[in-house]
Amino acid sequence: MAEFTGKRIVITGGAGSIGVATARAFLDQGAHVVLLDPDERALTEAKALLGGVRVFTAATDLATPAVCADFMERAKPVYALVHLAGLAERDPLGLNEHGVWDRAIAVNLTTAYDMAVAYRTCTDPRGPARLVLASSIAFRRGNPERIAYSAAKSGIIGLTRALARRFAPEILVNAVAPGVIVAPMSEPLATERGQTYREEIPLRRFGDPAEVASVIRFLCSRDSSYITGQTITIDGGLTNA
């Protein structure tokens, strides 16, 4: 029997490239996946790409604690919550323009907190359950064009460490910090720096969504049973160079 047979995995940002790859990684091991995303059309396309079997979708922006709580209550029991939803905008650093900062904190950090709190009472009793949050190498390097995003993704690390202590031993909480992955969110960075940026990466290439998905699946597997409060960087060696 495949490891995740009969287990329900909720993936926010599920219509994105990494979300779809993560869903596929779990489906290959027998899971039922629920994809959340505000883009209903993208969700329909994602479900079609995944074949539709054992795939469920919900169009939502998870904008309030009540929305998060309501969804998790309806989805339970949930074995793993993979929170990938995020937003990366260029930051104008204008005193009269606070929108980028507010959106970055709300979408990247506040929603992660709200979903984690909602998830705590909706876990699968066959646990320990798993919670995986998405940070970014921006938390290590800092992105000078996306200050608010960098700050929010740094906050994810503190959130991961604190929740790992608070939720133990019932829920193992970890984070992934992808580098430049071939996905729509990374296209602006690839366009801005292109080959120059690629040459900074020891592996000399951008990452594939499946390479992030495989780490997420590991963090939700029995092989990670003694790992919590950690952040795994997936960047081809960039932050070690």
Cα separation, 163 vs 176, whole angstroms: 15
Q: Is 149 a catalytic residue?
A: yes
For 26, what's the count of Cα atoms within 13 Å in the CB-facing half-sphere?
Answer: 32
Angle of helix 147-167 relative to helix 111-119, nearest 10 degrees, comes to 20
Check 113, 149, 197, 226 and give the catalytic one: 149
The answer to whether 237 and 203 are in contact (CB under 8 A) is yes
**What tokens appear for 98 in the block?**
């606070």
Determine the straight-line distance between the first and last CA of the chain, rounded to whole angstroms: 41
Angle of helix 17-27 relative to helix 209-219, nearest 10 degrees, comes to 50
Question: Environment class of residue 25 by beta-carbon count within 10 Å: exposed (0-12), middle (13-18) or buried (19+)?
Answer: buried
Cα separation, 170 vs 112, whole angstroms: 18
Which positions are annotated as active-site residues?
149
